[in-house]
């Protein structure tokens, strides 16, 4: 392992010896003002002068990699941090399997690499834009701090991708870096590249579902890029995954705390029937069927991010050693996949069937399967709360054919259990399965800010423990007067 300490002296903290690379340093320094302007325009609305108890990476070692302190968000030290270089690393899959990992961009794969980096990079500022108004309705200072932590780290992930573009892709890399600051989530003229990143995040339940489901897609994408034969991309993604874990923690524990609070309120009020929505809502907590609908929505939008089940782009990215599988190096096979198959769920002759496809073209499906398994484990952890509190309810992942806009099922309609139905039936029934305008209004009615240290809005439980082991009444955000 070659470890380089993080240099915090210059404008851009880094562990890539930026000071020895005048061209890239200059490119990044000239990109910096545009980034700060973007942050002020599109980052958290209204809290730019608040002191936020944030973690900042100070090392890329697994132990003690971050420090916590009060920081004004525009002063956050967004840095360029790559995981340490593994000596003699080889390409772990594809037709170049076993050859030394590339330290420079292989010319023949330049366009493909650039595209993957740009797509990943585009998601990072998009989520900051989607979450920009949440601060106004945060259910506690603890939660307020968490959304800001996620936001500054997504900003850092943008830096991570921009560094790769500027260092390895010359002029078109610089142009792409500018475009990443120009597109806007939800914009008509210049939307973000992927569908789920143009959806609104209107309330805190959406935010928690987004960080559980959509950041988890991010994790899967980063895991497969962390396998890349292009070593700088691999090292970049490996460190991003360290930060990403917190985002999913925010999502999983956020939903958990909502469930906990609802179950406790139901028990206290003696409500047995979770489907008695009016009675549960009267308690000022989120009823479980509405939570299930939000889950349906965010899960189905996130499944779309995996692309078409059968894809020659995915095959090419693997074959060329650019994008591997989830935990590639732990899989026991030939890592080339030229003669194996993988079962793909397809829409054939009016029915949903599993069909064997060449494993190479089925890689999106495979990654999606790994993702679904990961989601399912999280759902089971949520379901334990019902058992613990004695409430009769279960959350379920919907069928993959439900509410899809990309891939095999984009042109069909299905119920959450995977029964195919026609468009008219779907229209008629969809408010039972997806959040309706009335559900949205009800949740919005609960979104009142709670800013007293140690206090939480009525619809959510306090966390089991504080960030950085802080006590329950710790002032995570000092809001400027
Ligand atoms: Fe990210
Ligand atoms: Fe994230």
Report the CATH number at residue 117: 1.10.620.20
* Structural domain includes residue 372: yes
* Structural domain includes residue 11: no
Task: Kindly give the distance from the C-alpha atom of residue 219 to the centroid of ligand 2, in angstroms, as a whole number.
Answer: 8
* Structural domain includes residue 408: yes
Number of domains in the chain: 1
Exposed e or buried b for every residue in 360-376, given b needs 16+ CB within 10 A? bbbbbbbbbbbbeebbe
pLDDT at residue number 26: 94
Q: Could you give the angle at the alpha carbon of 319 between the alpha carbons of 408 and 101, nearest 5°?
A: 135
Task: Kindly give the distance from the C-alpha atom of residue 70 to the centroid of ligand 1, in angstroms, as a whole number.
Answer: 22
* Structural domain includes residue 10: no
The number of the ligand nearest the C-alpha atom of 149 reads 2
* Structural domain includes residue 185: yes
CB 96 within 8 A of CB 109: no
Integer CA distances (angstroms), 269 to 34, 288, 289, 446, 447, in order: 53, 15, 18, 19, 22
Q: Cα–Cα distance between 208 and 169 in angstroms, integer? A: 36
Residues with CB under 5 A from ligand 1 (ion): 124, 154, 157
* Structural domain includes residue 163: yes
Task: Kindly give the distance from the C-alpha atom of residue 244 to the centroid of ligand 1, in angstroms, as a whole number.
Answer: 6
Residues with CB under 5 A from ligand 2 (ion): 215, 244, 247
pLDDT at residue number 481: 65
Q: Cα–Cα distance between 293 and 218 in angstroms, integer? A: 22
Convert the pLDDT of each residue in 350-402 to its tens digit. 899 999 999 999 999 999 999 999 999 999 999 999 999 999 999 999 999 99
pLDDT at residue number 3: 61
* Structural domain includes residue 13: no
Task: Kindly give the distance from the C-alpha atom of residue 121 to the centroid of ligand 1, in angstroms, as a whole number.
Answer: 8
The number of the ligand nearest the C-alpha atom of 120 reads 1
Q: Are strands 341-348 and 66-72 parallel, antiparallel or unpaired?
A: unpaired
User: Which portions of the chain are predicted below pLDDT 50?
Assistant: 1
Convert the pLDDT of each residue in 105-114 to its tens digit. 999 999 999 9
Task: Kindly give the distance from the C-alpha atom of residue 247 to the centroid of ligand 2, in angstroms, as a whole number.
Answer: 5
Task: Kindly give the distance from the C-alpha atom of residue 457 to the centroid of ligand 1, in angstroms, as a whole number.
Answer: 28
Three-state DSSP state, 76: coil
Helix, strand, coil percent content, the chain, rounded in steps of 5: 50, 10, 40
pLDDT at residue number 2: 53
By residue range, what is the domain housing residue 392?
18-478
> Please, what sign has the CA dihedral across residues 64, 70, 73, 74?
negative
* Structural domain includes residue 1: no
């Amino acid at each position: 392992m070659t470890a380089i300490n993080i240099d915090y002296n210059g404008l851009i903290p880094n562990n890539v010896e930026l000071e020895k690379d005048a061209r890239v340093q200059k490119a990044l320094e000239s990109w910096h003002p545009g980034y700060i302007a973007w942050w002020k325009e599109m980052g958290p609305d209204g809290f730019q002068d608040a002191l936020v108890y944030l973690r900042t990476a100070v090392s890329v070692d697994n132990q003690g990699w971050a420090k916590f302190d009060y920081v004004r968000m525009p002063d956050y030290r967004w840095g360029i941090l790559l995981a340490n270089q593994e000596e003699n690393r080889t390409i772990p899959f594809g037709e170049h399997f076993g050859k030394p990992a590339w330290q420079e961009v292989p010319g023949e794969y330049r366009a493909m690499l650039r595209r993957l980096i740009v797509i990943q990079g585009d998601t990072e500022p998009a989520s900051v834009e989607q979450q920009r108004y949440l601060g106004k309705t945060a259910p506690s200072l603890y939660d307020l701090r968490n959304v800001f932590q996620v936001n500054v780290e997504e900003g850092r992930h943008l830096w991570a991708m921009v560094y790769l573009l500027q260092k390895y892709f010359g002029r078109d890399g610089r142009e792409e870096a500018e475009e990443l600051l120009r597109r806007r989530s939800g914009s008509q003229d210049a939307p973000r590249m992927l569908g789920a990143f143009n959806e609104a995040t209107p309330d805190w339940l959406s935010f928690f579902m987004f960080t559980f489901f959509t950041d988890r897609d991010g994790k899967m994408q980063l895991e497969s890029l962390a396998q890349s034969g292009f070593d700088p991309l691999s090292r970049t993604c490996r460190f991003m995954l360290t930060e990403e874990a917190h985002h999913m923690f925010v999502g999983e524990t956020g939903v958990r705390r909502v469930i906990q609070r609802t179950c406790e309120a139901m028990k206290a009020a003696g409500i047995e029937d979770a489907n008695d929505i009016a009675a549960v809502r009267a308690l000022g907590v989120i009823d479980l069927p509405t939570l299930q609908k939000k889950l349906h929505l965010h899960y189905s939008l996130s499944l779309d991010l995996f692309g078409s089940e059968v894809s020659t782009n995915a095959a090419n990215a693997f074959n060329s050693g650019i994008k591997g599988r989830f935990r590639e190096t732990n899989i026991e096979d030939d890592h080339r996949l030229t003669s194996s198959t993988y079962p793909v769920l397809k829409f054939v002759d009016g029915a949903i069937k599993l069909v064997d496809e060449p494993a190479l073209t089925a890689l999106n499906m495979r990654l999606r399967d790994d993702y679904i398994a990961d989601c399912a484990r999280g759902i089971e952890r949520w379901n334990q709360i019902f058992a613990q509190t004695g409430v009769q309810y279960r959350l379920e992942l919907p069928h993959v054919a439900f509410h899809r806009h990309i891939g095999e099922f984009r042109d069909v309609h299905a119920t959450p259990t995977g029964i195919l139905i026609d468009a008219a039936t779907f229209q008629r029934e969809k408010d039972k399965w997806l959040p309706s305008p009335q559900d949205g209004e009800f949740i919005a009615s609960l979104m009142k800010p709670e800013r007293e240290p140690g206090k939480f809005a009525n619809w959510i439980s306090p966390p089991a423990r504080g960030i950085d082991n802080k006590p329950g009444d710790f002032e995570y955000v000092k809001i400027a007067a």
